[in-house]
Amino acid sequence: MSFSFHKGEVPANVSRCSNLVGLALRKNLITGIIPPEIGSLSTLVGLNFESNNLTSSILASIAYLTSLQRFDVSYNKLLGGIPFTISQLVNLKTFELSTNNLFGELPDPIGMLSNLEVAYFDSNQLIDEISSSFGNICQLEQLFLFNNYTGIFDKL
């Protein structure tokens, strides 16, 4: 359903698709929130909401998606921080959060994502200090942190 110009919100009843492996709604006109019911899709391997108009936060309920390997919500209007529960996504390989309104620190539990290969955190309002826990991510090939708020102006 990518590039289909679907409008509206992600329906909560998508959680009824208990055998769903991939959900790609990228480059549509999706608005509103990521429904917490998505957390019940335990077989989901890929979740892609890139380039929509989602305005919620990243829900802690995504931690229940333990099979998830790819999570892409880049180019939306998501708010808030990255939940600490992200550490439960032990199979995650690609984590794309670019170009949102996310703020705060990159939580230490990201260092528990030992299979992570690609992480795009650029173009948000994150404090771009890299925790020592990132040293635990041996598979990491790409880490993008550019165009974030560093806090340097607060010291002037």
Question: Are 48 and 24 within 8 A, CB to CB?
Answer: yes
Q: Which of 64, 68, 6, 5 is nearest to 35 (CA)?
A: 64
pLDDT over 70 (residue 3): no
pLDDT over 70 (residue 5): no
pLDDT over 70 (residue 28): yes
How do residues 95-119 score in pLDDT, each as one tens digit? 999 999 999 988 899 999 999 999 9
- Tell me if the pTM is above 0.95: no
- Tokens for 51, please give them: 């380039």
Question: Are 42 and 64 within 8 A, CB to CB?
Answer: yes
Q: What is the pLDDT of residue 153?
A: 43
What pLDDT band is residue 74 in, cutting at 50, 70 and 90? Answer: very high
Q: CA 139, 100, 79, 156: dihedral to nearest 10 degrees? A: 90
Q: What is the pLDDT of residue 128?
A: 59
Q: What is the mean pLDDT of residues 138-153?
A: 80
Domains of the chain, residue spans: 7-155
Mean of the per-residue pLDDT values for the chain? 89
Q: Which of 65, 72, 54 is nearest to 20 (CA)?
A: 65
CATH code for 7-155?
3.80.10.10
| 4 vs 3 pLDDT, higher one | 4
